[in-house]
Structures are given as structure tokens and as C-alpha cells.
């Protein structure tokens, strides 16, 4: 048995839990916009309801660690998963915009609490030699599982109303793997405060990339399904589009990482931003049929999921021994969450006038980030850190799990 197999087998229960959790999460996060659009709910209301999910996620990054440290990982996982399942099931019983906003808030809070539990466990059970490999496996599992969740949207129409139930079942299965695990619970450190203005003054490009990257990803999961329903009125199109775009995001992580290690983050952030702009313009002028839409989706996935990891890598490049990289990394993740929160609010309001405004906003942000990135100073090759792939969605404990943190200590 190889060393990496010896490292993975003891924590395989965590990976199974992550898989089922991500499938359920990805399916429901996308389906909420579809379901509300089918109910003829206004785009502004859909944006607010979806934004509530990320508001819950932001607060979870601050408050959930205190809960976990008091009652333990297994009990906390069961509690957060139960809250998440309850919120999913209540979605299917009755629609009220205020109720749904609250339920999405609970879903976001509990989901990110679950991520913090899983990531802190992975961090505790991996050593410095295997940490990068385990993080890569985590990234692959999360992308593929979330993509599978999108595919499940394309089930027979007679089961469509049961999607909230199916998502609940998937989350419940993840509890089984955690409840029966023999892995020792790690000690979770209290949440540490940070200052966004301070971090921006230290690593402005990283902070800006995190904010815009969060906007792109948040907009992708919450409002692009609404856009596609407006244009095609087909759950099947939404399902395949989301799947293909996520696969594009997964496939791009390693080549973009290698290119950024060779040519620098500044240039790759600019290239990704420029590509996002061009693809957004394609959507505006050339998306005549579903085949073209799927191709554009794949191209979009190649770039939008890479901007935040490139921003984190940029922060690691410019750090010195006098700076707290953990504080900066946590702040970048928080900034990413803010971008995800803002996206459905802005896009929901904008597409109420014209659905094309979604990609106009994407194009404008891409142009801005491209020029802003190229205006910043280039980092010498000798000072570049190693690019690390980061899951499409991550909790605050992923920062401790990042093997680059050990290089700065």
C-alpha cells in the first residue's frame, strides 16, 4: 500500500460525506432559482432569496466555530445537517418570500458550518507531506460531486417536485459516514478577527480578485439558472449547462496553476478576466442555440473558478515573514463570500429590466479586473509560491489546510 493510500484510507469517511453533501448542496442551490422562476417570482425577489444563502454563509464563518468547539465535531455535524435538511424540506411545503429567505439563510449557515467541520478534520489528519495531495483530492471530489448534483436536476418531470426531498436524503447520508467514523475530533481554534481595509492595503490585487471571483461564482450558481430559464425555459438546458461549466472549472485548475507558476498571477488573473469578458460578449451576441450555450458555458468555467485561487496565490507571493498570511487568507475568503452575497442582489435587480444585463455586468467586471491586474507590480519568479487548487466552495478552515501556510512559518 502506497503512502498516499495509507493517508487517504483513514479519512475516506470524510470524503464520502463531502461527496453526498456537495451533490445535495449543488442540486438545491441551482434548483431554487429554477423553481422560483417557474412560480413566476420576480427576479429581484429571487436575487434577495438567493443572497440570503450567502449571508448565512458569511455569518457561519464567524459564529459556527464557537458552536463546534463547545459541542464537538460529530454533534455539530449532526445539528447543522439536521438544520439544512429541515430547511430543504420546508422549501417544498410552502412558498412565502420571507420564509424562503430565512430558510436560505439557515441553509447557508449550516452548510458552511459543515464545511468547517470537514476541513478542520482533513487538516488535522493530514501531514505536511500529503496535505497538497489531499487538498487536490478534496477539490476534485467537490467539483465532481457538485457537477453530479446539476445532472440530477434533469430527472423525469414527475419527480421534479421531489428534488428538495432528494437533496435532503443526500445530506442525511453524509451524516451516516460522520456518525460512524472513528476519527478523533480535532481542537478547533476560536474565530480570529480581521480587517478588510487593512488587508486591501497589503494585497490589493488579491482582495479585488477575491471579491470579483466571488461575484462570478455566486452569480453563476444563483442567477445564471434564472437567466437560462428566461431564455430557454428548460430545466434540461440548465442542468447540462451547469454540469459542463463545472467540468470546465475543474479541468482548468491544473493548467492555469502551472501557467501562473511560470508567468505569474498578475498576468493569469488578467487573462482569466479578459476571457470572462469575451465569453460574456459571446453570450450577448452569439448564443443562438443550446450547443453554442454549452460551449460558452465550458469556456466560462475555465476562467471564473480560477480567479479566487489565483488571488490567494498572489497574496502568498507578496507576503513576507512580518505578515500574518493566515489572517490575510481568511480575509480573502470572507471577501469572496461578500462578492457571492452581492452577486444575486445586483444581478436580480438588473435582469428585471433585461436578462442580458447579467453578462454585461460580467463583461464590465472582467474588463476592470484585467486592467487593474496589469497595473500592479510583477512579482519576481524567485518569490512566487506554488499554486494550490481550491474547491469551488470552501470554509474558513481550508486556510489552515493550505500547505503554503507552512512555507511562511
Nearest to 356 by CA among 286, 289, 303, 292: 286
Using N-to-C axis directions, what is the helix angle for 224-232 and 290-304, rounded to 10°? Answer: 170
What does the DSSP 8-state code read for residue 10? Answer: G
Structure confidence at residue 222 as a pLDDT band (50, 70, 90): very high
Mean pLDDT score, 358-379: 90
> Residue 216: enclosing H or E segment and its boundaries?
helix 204-222
- As given in the structure block, the three cell numbers for residue 2 are 502506497
Query: Which residue would you say has higher pLDDT here, 62 or 306?
Result: 306
Mean pLDDT score, 43-51: 96
- Sign of dihedral through CA atoms 240, 212, 331, 256? positive
Query: Which residue would you say has higher pLDDT here, 395 or 313?
Result: 313
CA 317, CA 312: separation in Å to the nearest integer? 9
Q: What are the tens digits of pLDDT across the range 247-295? A: 999 999 888 888 888 888 889 999 999 999 999 999 988 767 889 999 9
Percent of the chain with pLDDT over 90: 51
Mean pLDDT score, 99-116: 93
CA 202, CA 398: separation in Å to the nearest integer? 21
Rounded to two decimals, what is the model's pTM? 0.90
Whether residue 382 is predicted with pLDDT greater than 50 in this model: the reply is no
CA 144, CA 51: separation in Å to the nearest integer? 24
Which residues have C-beta within 8 Å of that of residue 404, sequence separation ≥ 6? Answer: 316, 325, 385, 386, 388
Of the ranges 130-134, 297-301, 363-367, which one carries the lowest mean pLDDT score?
A: 130-134
Q: What are the tens digits of pLDDT across the range 4-13? A: 555 666 678 8
Domains of the chain: residue spans and CATH:
11-183 (1.20.1250.20), 197-381 (1.20.1250.20)
According to the model, what pLDDT value does residue 4 have? 53
Structure confidence at residue 398 as a pLDDT band (50, 70, 90): low
Nearest to 200 by CA among 191, 189, 209, 192: 209
- Which of 44-53, 89-98, 192-201 tops mean pLDDT? 44-53
Q: What are the tens digits of pLDDT across the range 141-193? A: 999 999 999 988 887 555 556 889 999 999 999 999 888 877 777 666 665 56
Mean pLDDT of the chain: 85
According to the model, what pLDDT value does residue 169 have? 94
According to the model, what pLDDT value does residue 380 have? 55
Whether residue 402 is predicted with pLDDT greater than 90 in this model: the reply is no
Nearest to 294 by CA among 274, 279, 307: 279
According to the model, what pLDDT value does residue 101 have? 96
Yes or no: say if 30 and 242 are a contact pair by the CB < 8 Å rule: yes
Amino acid at each position: 500500500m502506497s503512502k498516499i493510500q495509507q493517508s487517504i484510507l483513514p479519512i475516506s469517511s470524510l470524503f464520502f460525506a463531502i461527496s453526498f453533501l456537495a451533490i445535495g448542496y449543488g442540486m438545491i442551490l441551482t434548483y431554487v432559482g429554477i423553481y422560483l422562476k417557474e412560480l413566476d417570482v420576480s427576479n429581484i425577489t429571487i436575487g434577495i432569496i438567493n443572497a440570503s444563502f450567502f449571508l448565512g454563509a458569511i455569518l457561519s464563518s464567524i459564529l459556527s466555530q464557537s458552536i463546534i468547539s463547545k459541542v464537538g465535531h460529530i454533534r455539530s455535524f449532526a445539528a447543522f445537517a439536521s438544520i439544512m435538511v429541515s430547511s430543504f424540506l420546508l422549501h417544498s411545503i410552502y412558498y412565502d418570500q420571507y420564509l424562503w429567505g430565512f430558510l436560505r439563510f439557515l441553509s447557508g449557515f449550516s452548510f458552511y458550518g459543515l464545511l468547517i467541520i470537514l476541513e478542520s478534520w482533513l487538516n488535522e489528519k493530514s501531514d505536511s507531506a500529503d496535505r497538497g495531495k489531499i487538498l487536490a483530492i478534496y477539490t476534485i471530489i467537490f467539483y465532481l460531486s457538485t457537477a453530479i448534483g446539476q445532472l440530477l436536476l434533469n430527472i423525469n418531470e414527475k419527480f421534479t417536485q421531489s428534488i428538495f426531498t432528494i437533496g435532503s436524503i443526500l445530506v442525511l447520508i453524509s451524516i451516516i459516514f460522520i456518525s460512524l467514523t472513528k476519527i478523533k475530533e480535532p481542537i478547533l481554534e476560536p474565530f480570529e478577527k480581521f480587517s478588510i481595509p487593512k488587508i486591501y492595503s497589503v494585497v490589493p490585487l488579491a482582495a479585488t480578485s477575491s471579491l470579483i471571483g466571488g461575484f462570478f461564482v455566486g452569480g453563476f450558481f444563483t442567477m445564471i439558472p434564472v437567466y437560462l430559464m428566461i431564455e430557454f425555459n428548460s430545466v434540461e438546458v440548465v442542468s447540462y449547462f451547469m454540469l459542463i461549466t463545472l467540468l470546465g472549472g475543474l479541468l482548468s485548475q491544473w493548467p492555469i496553476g502551472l501557467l501562473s507558476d511560470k508567468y505569474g498571477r498578475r498576468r493569469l488573473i488578467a487573462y482569466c478576466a479578459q476571457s470572462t469578458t469575451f465569453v460574456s460578449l459571446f453570450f450577448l451576441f452569439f448564443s443562438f442555440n443550446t450547443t453554442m450555450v454549452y460551449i460558452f458555458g465550458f469556456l466560462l468555467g475555465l476562467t471564473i473558478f480560477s480567479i479566487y485561487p489565483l488571488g490567494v496565490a498572489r497574496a502568498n507571493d507578496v507576503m513576507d515573514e512580518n505578515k500574518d498570511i493566515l489572517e490575510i487568507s481568511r480575509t480573502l475568503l470572507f471577501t469572496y463570500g461578500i462578492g457571492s452575497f452581492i452577486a444575486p442582489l445586483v444581478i436580480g435587480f438588473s435582469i428585471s429590466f433585461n436578462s442580458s444585463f447579467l453578462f454585461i455586468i460580467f463583461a464590465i467586471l472582467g474588463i476592470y479586473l484585467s486592467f487593474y491586474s496589469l497595473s500592479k507590480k510583477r512579482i519576481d519568479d524567485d518569490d512566487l509560491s506554488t499554486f494550490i487548487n481550491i474547491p469551488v466552495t470552501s470554509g474558513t478552515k481550508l486556510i489552515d489546510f493550505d500547505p503554503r501556510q507552512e512555507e511562511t512559518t
